[in-house]
Amino acid sequence: MKALVWHGKEDIRCDAVTDPRIEDPRDAIVRVTSCAICGSDLHLFHNFIPAMLPGDIMGHEMMGEVVEVGSGVNGQLKKGERIVIPFTIICGECEQCRRGNFSVCETTNRKKHLAEKVFGHPTAGLFGYTHLTGGYPGGQAEYVRVPFADKTHIKVPEGLSDEQVLFLGDILPTGWQAAVQCDIQPDDTVAIWGCGPVGQMAIRSAILLGAAQVIAIDRLPERLDMAEAAGAVTINFDEESVIERLNELTDGKGPEKCIDAVGMESYVSPWQPDTIYDRAKQMLMLESDRPHVLREMIYVCRPAGVISVPGVYGGLIDKFPMGLAMNKGLTFRMGQTHVNRWTDDLLRRIEEGQIDPSFVITHTARLEDGPEMYKVFRDKQDSCVKVVLKP
């Protein structure tokens, strides 16, 4: 079959690879009908996340038709059914799964020893991601093997298109969890850094959850327009001071809730003092992530506020203003998304027409065009916001 394969920094190729097969009774094989490129894939593309190996198949946002099930799937999933695959592989039985903490499932990471060494504890197995999370082949491919398939799936009701449901596997619940974790009150201002696909979902979620004011921050006009269309007030950080404008929009109080939908590769305007510092340290491998957005959020957040971080960080950050965060009494919420915790509710909202996440798709291409589309998405060419690939 064809698949998008990681070969090293900025080197993803569409290769012919061996078809996946059932390896465990709880496996299923899915023929992928749609898959997408995520901001998290860009961190792998840039080789910022440790423990990727040449030959790894990319992709953790995918859906398709079940073509084969193992004997241990026990009727939970049948041949011919259409499913979205959550990016977090879950057993559904361990203590964390029973608490709904799916992204830290204690069973599914098949390289537990690696994660234990680096993180202190293993976290869930993830598709198409680092070997710290199991090194499972991803779904930017014609077929994908779904381990623990009896639990790791979201069934698609009839009548919904791929485009309407594909993002249930990652960015929609990610934006939603980021907003839910803000514990939004009716008089809250929610400020969201980053208007990429995750930011867009967080903006719509914060509005649905009843925030008084949602403020979206980015520098790309087409992404700011999309945020504005949802009802957000926008700030272009290339043109104005984020801190000054946020204070202005909140009568000097600062936003009660701040969401980081940017993560470890934040862009810093050349005149910001931390630009050179973080880039230099990152290049010398003295720091793995650029925490500019985190610093800005901690500085501007209203005391007793919440900092919610769906943006991915890979390792160590430097000059983290702990004193500000502590004295202001801020609460931090973060993590890889507990996808299946939210999907029943979100699927119902899609069916009822409250949300249609397909608005974010700007590009649809063939799987073979994937390597080129990584660059288009990374460089925001042609006003690209989200790419869907059709294997």
Ligand X SMILES: NC(=O)c1ccc[n+]([C@@H]2O[C@H](COP(=O)([O-])OP(=O)(O)OC[C@H]3O[C@@H](n4cnc5c(N)ncnc54)[C@H](O)[C@@H]3O)[C@@H](O)[C@H]2O)c1
Q: Does 91 bind Zn ion (CB under 5 A)?
A: yes
Look at residue 281 and give the partner it binds from ligand X, Zn ion, none, a contact being a CB closer than 5 to 8 Å depending on partner kind. none
Collapsing DSSP to helix, strand or coil, 256 comes out as coil
Instruction: Mark residue 49 as left, alpha or beta (left: phi above 0; alpha: psi -120 to 50; beta: remaining).
Output: beta
The contact pattern for Zn ion, residues 53-82, with x = CB under 5 A and - = no contact, is ------------------------------
User: Using CA atoms, how far apart are residues 310 and 194, in angstroms rounded to an integer?
Assistant: 11
- Contact, 37 vs 167, CB < 8 A? no
**31-54 b/e with 16+ CB inside 10 Å = b?**
ebebbbbbbbbbbbbeebbebbee
End-to-end distance of the chain based on CA atoms, in angstroms? 10
Q: Does 40 bind ligand X (CB under 6 A)?
A: yes
> Which residues ranging from 180 to 209 are in contact with ligand X (CB under 6 A)?
193-199
User: Using CA atoms, how far apart are residues 181 and 206, in angstroms rounded to an integer?
Assistant: 10
The contact pattern for ligand X, residues 226-245, with x = CB under 6 A and - = no contact, is -----------x--------
| Residue from 3, 29, 32, 38 binding ligand X (CB under 6 A) | 38
Q: Does 223 bind ligand X (CB under 6 A)?
A: yes
User: Using CA atoms, how far apart are residues 204 and 218, in angstroms rounded to an integer?
Assistant: 16
Identity at 9, one-letter amino acid code: K
**Number of C-alpha atoms within 13 angstroms, CB side, residue 192?**
35
| Residue from 142, 188, 218, 289 binding ligand X (CB under 6 A) | 218
> CB-wise, 57 or 227, nearer to ligand X?
227
The contact pattern for ligand X, residues 305-324, with x = CB under 6 A and - = no contact, is -----xxx------------
CB of 18 to ligand X, least distance (A): 28
CB of 87 to ligand X, least distance (A): 7
> Which residues ranging from 284 to 303 are in contact with ligand X (CB under 6 A)?
292-293
The total number of residues shown for the chain amounts to: 391
Residue 258's nearest CA partner among 209, 207, 293 is 293
> CB-wise, 69 or 123, nearer to ligand X?
123
User: Using CA atoms, how far apart are residues 72 and 149, in angstroms rounded to an integer?
Assistant: 9
From the number of C-beta atoms within 10 Å of its C-beta (0-12, 13-18, 19+), residue 8 rates as: exposed
| Residue from 97, 149, 201, 227 binding Zn ion (CB under 5 A) | 97
Q: Does 38 bind Zn ion (CB under 5 A)?
A: yes
User: Using CA atoms, how far apart are residues 314 and 319, in angstroms rounded to an integer?
Assistant: 16
Which range, of 6-14, 38-46, 259-267, 361-369, touches Zn ion by CB under 5 A?
38-46
Residue 191's nearest CA partner among 232, 162, 154 is 232
Q: Does 107 bind Zn ion (CB under 5 A)?
A: yes
Q: Does 42 bind ligand X (CB under 6 A)?
A: yes
Collapsing DSSP to helix, strand or coil, 365 comes out as strand
Distances (CA, A) of 324 to 312, 319, 320, 330, 364: 22, 12, 9, 9, 44
- Contact, 305 vs 185, CB < 8 A? no
| Residue from 134, 263, 305, 391 binding ligand X (CB under 6 A) | 263
> CB-wise, 34 or 69, nearer to ligand X?
34
Give the position of tokens 């520098």.
Answer: 219
Look at residue 118 and give the partner it binds from ligand X, Zn ion, none, a contact being a CB closer than 5 to 8 Å depending on partner kind. none
> CB-wise, 146 or 259, nearer to ligand X?
259
Collapsing DSSP to helix, strand or coil, 138 comes out as coil
| Residue from 49, 52, 105, 191 binding Zn ion (CB under 5 A) | 105
Look at residue 107 and give the partner it binds from ligand X, Zn ion, none, a contact being a CB closer than 5 to 8 Å depending on partner kind. Zn ion
| Residue from 3, 4, 39, 301 binding ligand X (CB under 6 A) | 39
Look at residue 389 and give the partner it binds from Zn ion, ligand X, none, a contact being a CB closer than 5 to 8 Å depending on partner kind. none
Interaction site with ligand X (CB under 6 A) = 38-40, 42-43, 170-171, 174, 193-199, 217-220, 223, 237, 261-263, 266-268, 292-293, 310-312, 336-337
Interaction site with Zn ion (CB under 5 A) = 38, 40, 91, 94, 97, 105, 107, 170
